[in-house]
């Protein structure tokens, strides 16, 4: 009984540190967040951080890995529907667009509809601006996967080959129109005149993003044909 109580206490301490890490790393970045601040936020002894995670960097990596797993599970249904449609050679334009709408709706809900998304988005933005040693955890574990799905979908809808640099850049542009509503939340709340986005705001954002992707697909013409020959060079450089 005592052994089980100890395990439960250790599990609770670990979770409190993870929660504290998500919030403080999101607010200040890993470099500016001290172990003392993390312990104080979590309400645990300072020694708990090296005991459970080996140090601050270990806690940061654990926070990233856990949060990425949660986010991938949340966007999973939308990603899976797109991948299934893209893998089906007989899938028509209507089926592909329906999968796109599901993915947009899923991404908007996940990014804007849950409180912990703010901290994750802040960490994501910090890793893009000033990458840490854990950048690959975020990039390979989340960003590249979502970008890869958008690339496949737009490739089918626009008739562009997977190696097209313009295709990959367009996928980034499409993702960016949704991400801005998370990373630019403070300014967006000023625009809508409220303390948080309402369900009506979220629905409007979803429809706007869907319409913009549909407009891109319907009116597509190559924007950067000169980059076509550069795709292979880019791959070689990476």
List pLDDT tens digits, range 121-142.
888 888 988 899 999 999 999 9
pLDDT of residue 55: 96
Q: Does 37 reside within a domain?
A: no
Question: Residues 35-53: what's their mean pLDDT?
Answer: 96
Q: How far is CA 237 from each of CA 53, 134, 135, 234, rounded to the nearest angstrom? A: 35, 22, 19, 5
pLDDT of residue 233: 43
Top-confidence residue, 207 or 226: 207
Q: Does 229 reside within a domain?
A: no
Give the chain's largest Cα–Cα span. Answer: 70
Q: Return the half-sphere exposure (C-beta side, CA atoms, 13 A cut-off) of residue 17.
A: 29
User: Which strand (E) or helix (H) includes residue 51?
Assistant: helix 48-53
Q: Which domain holds residue 181?
A: 64-223
pLDDT of residue 237: 39
Distance CA(5)–CA(17), nearest Å, equals 18
Q: Does 25 reside within a domain?
A: no
Q: Does 12 reside within a domain?
A: no
Q: Does 4 reside within a domain?
A: no
Q: Return the half-sphere exposure (C-beta side, CA atoms, 13 A cut-off) of residue 127.
A: 21
Q: How many domains does the chain have?
A: 1
pLDDT of residue 171: 96
Quick one: angle between helices 56-87 and 93-112, nearest 10? 160
Distance CA(62)–CA(14), nearest Å, equals 10
For the CA atoms of 163, 164, 165, 170, the dihedral, rounded to the nearest 10 degrees, stands at -120
Q: Which band of pLDDT confidence, cut at 50, 70 and 90, is reported for residue 115?
A: low
Q: Return the half-sphere exposure (C-beta side, CA atoms, 13 A cut-off) of residue 25.
A: 30
Q: Does 26 reside within a domain?
A: no
Q: Does 21 reside within a domain?
A: no
Please check the confidence at residue 178 and state whether its pLDDT lies above 50.
yes
Q: Does 230 reside within a domain?
A: no
Sequence-distant (6+) residues with CB within 8 A of 88 are 95
Read off the CATH number of the domain in which 109 is found. 1.10.357.10
pLDDT tens sequence across 138-147? 999 999 999 9
pLDDT tens sequence across 50-98? 999 999 999 999 999 999 999 999 999 999 999 999 999 999 999 999 9
Across 20-34, 186-200, 220-234, least confident range: 220-234
pLDDT of residue 224: 83
User: Which strand (E) or helix (H) includes residue 84?
Assistant: helix 56-87
pLDDT of residue 228: 62
Burial (0-12, 13-18, 19+ Cβ within 10 Å), 59: buried
């Amino acid at each position: 009984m005592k052994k089980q109580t100890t395990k439960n206490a250790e599990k609770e301490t670990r979770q409190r540190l993870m929660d504290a890490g998500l919030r403080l790393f999101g607010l200040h970045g890993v470099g500016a967040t001290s172990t003392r601040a993390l312990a104080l936020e979590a309400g645990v002894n300072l020694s708990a951080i090296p005991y459970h995670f080996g140090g601050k960097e270990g806690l940061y990596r654990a926070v990233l890995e856990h949060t990425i797993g949660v986010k991938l599970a949340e966007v999973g249904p939308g990603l899976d529907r797109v991948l299934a449609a893209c893998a089906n050679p007989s899938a028509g334009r209507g089926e592909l667009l329906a999968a796109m709408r599901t993915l947009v709706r899923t991404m908007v809900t996940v990014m804007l509809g849950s409180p912990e998304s703010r901290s994750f988005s802040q960490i994501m933005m910090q890793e893009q601006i000033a990458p840490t040693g854990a950048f690959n955890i975020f990039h390979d574990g989340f960003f590249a996967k979502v970008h890869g799905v958008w690339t496949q979908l737009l490739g089918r809808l626009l008739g562009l080959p997977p190696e097209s640099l313009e295709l990959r850049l367009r996928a980034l542009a499409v993702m960016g129109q949704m991400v801005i509503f998370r990373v630019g939340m403070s300014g967006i709340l000023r625009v809508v005149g409220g303390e948080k986005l309402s369900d009506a705001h979220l629905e409007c954002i979803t429809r706007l993003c869907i319409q913009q992707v549909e407009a891109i697909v319907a009116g597509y013409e190559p924007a950067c044909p000169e980059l076509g020959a550069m795709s292979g060079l880019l791959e070689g450089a990476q």
